[in-house]
Amino acid sequence: MEQVNILNTMVAYTIIFYLATNIVPANADRFYIDTQNLKDPSQKMTLNFTKQKDGNWKVVPDVAPDDPLYFSFDKNLNFYSLEGRSGQRDTLPLSKLIKIKKNHKKWKKVTEVMIKPRSADSQERLSFVVEKKGKKQRIIRPGDDVKTEVKEIPSMHLRWE
């Protein structure tokens, strides 16, 4: 079985996108994530998510408006992405790589999500805390028990219309 490092920043962001698309109500066509820019932590960044007619999500960071990312998840937890500028397509079979366990059946009531690799020999784990900050707002941040590599991922303020 293929092994994945769940502490990898790109995998962590893929998981955050999965969490966000599930926390946001199904009838929402737009949502935003406000966070720090990883390249320049002193700079704030907003990721604008827009649902496309084909069911994909279009993500446009305000720091690079000409470089969108299109992505979707299927029922088997496969992550499909298409980079706007380069046209590069990727598929990441998350269900074969990780197990996602949430602390509540309904996504809108989730307060913590635990991610573990499917391989039995790996002891890595990653948790995210989801805090309610208003009727249409949540904060997603790495849990207190995660390693320092993931602590570099800043808190993400999720809001929708």
Instruction: Evaluate whether residue 3 is within a structural domain.
Output: no
Q: What is the pTM of this model?
A: 0.88
pLDDT in tens, the chain (161 residues): 445 555 567 788 899 999 999 999 999 999 999 998 877 878 899 999 999 999 999 999 998 888 899 999 999 999 999 988 788 899 999 988 889 999 999 999 999 999 888 877 777 788 899 999 999 999 999 888 766 555 578 899 999 98
The boundaries of the domain holding residue 124 are: 9-160
Instruction: Evaluate whether residue 1 is within a structural domain.
Output: no
Residue count of the chain, please give it.
161
Instruction: Evaluate whether residue 131 is within a structural domain.
Output: yes
- How many folded domains does the chain comprise? 1
SS3 state of residue 43? coil
SS3 state of residue 14? helix
Instruction: Evaluate whether residue 2 is within a structural domain.
Output: no
pLDDT in the model for residue 2:
47
Instruction: Evaluate whether residue 132 is within a structural domain.
Output: yes
Instruction: Evaluate whether residue 60 is within a structural domain.
Output: yes
Six token digits for residue 76: 């088997």
Instruction: Evaluate whether residue 64 is within a structural domain.
Output: yes
